[in-house]
């Protein structure tokens, strides 16, 4: 292998692919990035066996070949080099030589035979969808998935595609985020299928949303063995394992009627939650909402810190009540809202609460309350 390329291109490619390596693994090869020549370009590959990536960059290939190098050290080293041309080559001792105008280094390589083969997409299962729509939806939904692996199915986002719409749902058991988009242009599903349903790890979808910003369309489809999902972007392919299991019956927990409806200014409510969080952090993250006739009182107290109360003007329809939530769940929801007004619908102190964004009627968010300690 011998190639010349720009430091700035290699630096970006390494910084992205290094996120997909496994630095702590029983398989040392997973902490490496595989670099290979591919049809006149360089291809960088990495995987942690849950997610993987192929990333192509331009360069002048003098001699074909491939090698695996330690991700952490090579990524850091390349980031310190000045912009401009660099030369890379594999010498007779299987050492990677990196030469820039003012620096020269060598790195040990690992046998490429140990590197896992990333699957290819089965085009018969592929669909194309508007990148911005799917990325925005991922941002509004994926954060509600669980982050620990005690129940793997809750770390996934349920994704269901039909010709006329798609729906994403995530829940960690304490909150739920759901969005359904009606398609302006019908999706072209694989032949003889009226829907596609996947359980995709939330982390994988968040990476897709992060990396897909430069494309108009996002192509996705199953691997040949149907065990993994592949996202195709310009100069990139992301590979994600699929999660097996039964997703919770989320529709059962969404209330159909409510006794109290509250209209709030988003920014004023957000500020009240931030103030309360200073105290709530020392008291299991609990904030209490006391719903009055034309306002709500946001309060929190902690024995070692003190207590506070903030009054937020509101339009209230229905019965007054007191209810408490984990303030982090409310803050997370506010951060993805686009409108200036929030709508909260409630029933009783221990039943699910429905949160609406006034600007996005297709987004449904549920937060489970916590029991108020007397």
| Structure confidence by residue, pLDDT tens digits, 179-190 | 999 988 888 998
Percent of the chain surpassing pLDDT 70: 99
Among candidate residues 114, 139, 156, the one where a domain is terminated: 114
- Pair 39, 82 in one domain: yes
Task: State the pLDDT confidence band at 337, using cuts at 50, 70 and 90.
Answer: very high
- Pair 152, 96 in one domain: no
- Pair 130, 245 in one domain: yes
| Structure confidence by residue, pLDDT tens digits, 210-248 | 998 878 899 999 999 989 999 999 899 999 999 999 999
What distance lies between CA 211 and its chain's CA centroid? 10
- Pair 327, 311 in one domain: yes
Q: Are strands 217-222 and 51-58 parallel, antiparallel or unpaired?
A: unpaired
Residue with tokens 């896992």: 116
Q: Say whether pLDDT at 123 is over 80.
A: yes
Q: How many domains does the chain have?
A: 3
Supply the pLDDT for residue 192: 80
Domain enclosing residue 130, as ranges = 123-250
Q: With 0-12 CB in 10 A as exposed, 13-18 as middle and 19+ as buried, what is 239?
A: buried
Q: Say whether pLDDT at 373 is over 90.
A: no
Quote the CA–CA distance of 24 and 315 in Å, as a whole number. 52
Among candidate residues 250, 278, 303, the one where a domain is terminated: 250
Phi/psi of residue 28, each to 5°? -55, -30
- Pair 246, 259 in one domain: no
Quick check: 1 and 66 in contact, CB under 8 A?
yes
- Pair 246, 129 in one domain: yes
Q: Say whether pLDDT at 374 is over 70.
A: no
CA-wise closest residue to 198 among 264, 135, 252, 244: 244
* pLDDT, mean of residues 273-297: 95
Quote the CA–CA distance of 37 and 44 in Å, as a whole number. 9
Supply the pLDDT for residue 32: 96
* pLDDT, mean of residues 302-319: 92
* pLDDT, mean of residues 309-331: 96
Supply the pLDDT for residue 191: 81
The token duo for 371 is 């029991």
Asked if the structure places residue 372 within a domain, the reply is no
Asked if the structure places residue 348 within a domain, the reply is yes
- Pair 279, 213 in one domain: no
| Distant-in-sequence, close-in-space partners of 231: CB < 8 Å, separation ≥ 6 | 208, 212, 218, 219, 220, 237, 238, 239, 240
Three-state DSSP state, 30: helix
| Angle subtended at Cα 45 by Cα 26 and Cα 197, rounded to the nearest 5 degrees | 85
Quote the CA–CA distance of 337 and 316 in Å, as a whole number. 20
- Pair 131, 225 in one domain: yes
Task: State the pLDDT confidence band at 105, using cuts at 50, 70 and 90.
Answer: very high
Supply the pLDDT for residue 26: 85
- Pair 78, 129 in one domain: no
Task: State the pLDDT confidence band at 276, using cuts at 50, 70 and 90.
Answer: very high
CATH number where 214 lies: 3.10.150.10
| Structure confidence by residue, pLDDT tens digits, 26-75 | 899 999 999 999 999 999 999 999 999 999 999 999 999 999 999 999 99
| Structure confidence by residue, pLDDT tens digits, 154-166 | 999 999 999 999 9
- Pair 281, 294 in one domain: yes
- Mean pLDDT, the chain, rounded, equals 94
| Distant-in-sequence, close-in-space partners of 26: CB < 8 Å, separation ≥ 6 | none
């Amino acid at each position: 292998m011998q190639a010349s390329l720009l430091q700035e291109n290699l630096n970006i490619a390494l910084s992205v692919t290094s996120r997909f390596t496994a630095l702590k693994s029983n398989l040392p090869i997973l902490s490496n990035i595989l670099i290979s020549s591919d049809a006149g370009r360089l291809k960088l590959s990495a995987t942690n066996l849950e997610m993987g990536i192929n990333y192509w960059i331009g360069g002048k290939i003098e001699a074909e070949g491939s090698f695996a190098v330690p991700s952490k050290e090579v990524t850091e080293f390349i980031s310190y080099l000045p912009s401009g041309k660099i030369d890379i080559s594999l010498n007779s001792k299987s050492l990677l030589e990196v030469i820039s105008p003012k620096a020269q280094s060598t790195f040990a390589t690992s046998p490429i035979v140990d590197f896992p083969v990333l699957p290819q997409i089965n085009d018969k299962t592929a669909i194309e969808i508007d990148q911005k729509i799917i990325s925005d939806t991922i941002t509004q939904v994926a954060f509600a998935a669980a982050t620990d692996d005690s129940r793997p199915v809750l770390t996934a986002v349920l994704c269901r595609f039909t010709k006329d719409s798609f729906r994403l749902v995530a829940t960690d058991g304490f909150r739920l985020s759901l969005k359904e988009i009606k398609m302006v242009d019908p999706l072209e599903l694989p032949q003889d299928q009226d829907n596609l349903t996947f359980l995709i790890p939330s982390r994988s979808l968040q990476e897709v949303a992060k990396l897909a910003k430069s494309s108009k369309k996002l192509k996705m489809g199953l691997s040949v063995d149907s065990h993994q999902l592949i996202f195709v972007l310009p100069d990139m392919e992301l590979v994600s394992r699929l999660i097996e299991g039964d997703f919770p019956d989320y529709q059962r927990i969404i209330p159909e009627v409510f006794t109290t409806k509250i209209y709030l200014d988003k920014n004023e409510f957000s500020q009240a939650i931030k103030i309360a969080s200073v105290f709530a952090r020392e008291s299991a993250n609990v904030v209490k909402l006391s719903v009055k006739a034309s306002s709500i009182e946001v309060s929190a107290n902690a024995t070692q810190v003190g207590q506070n109360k903030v009054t937020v003007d509101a339009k209230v329809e229905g019965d007054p009540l007191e209810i408490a939530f984990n303030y982090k769940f409310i803050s997370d929801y506010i951060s993805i809202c686009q409108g200036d007004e929030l709508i909260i619908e409630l029933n009783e102190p221990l039943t699910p609460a429905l949160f609406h964004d006034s600007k996005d009627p297709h987004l449904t968010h549920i937060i489970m309350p916590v029991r108020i300690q007397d």
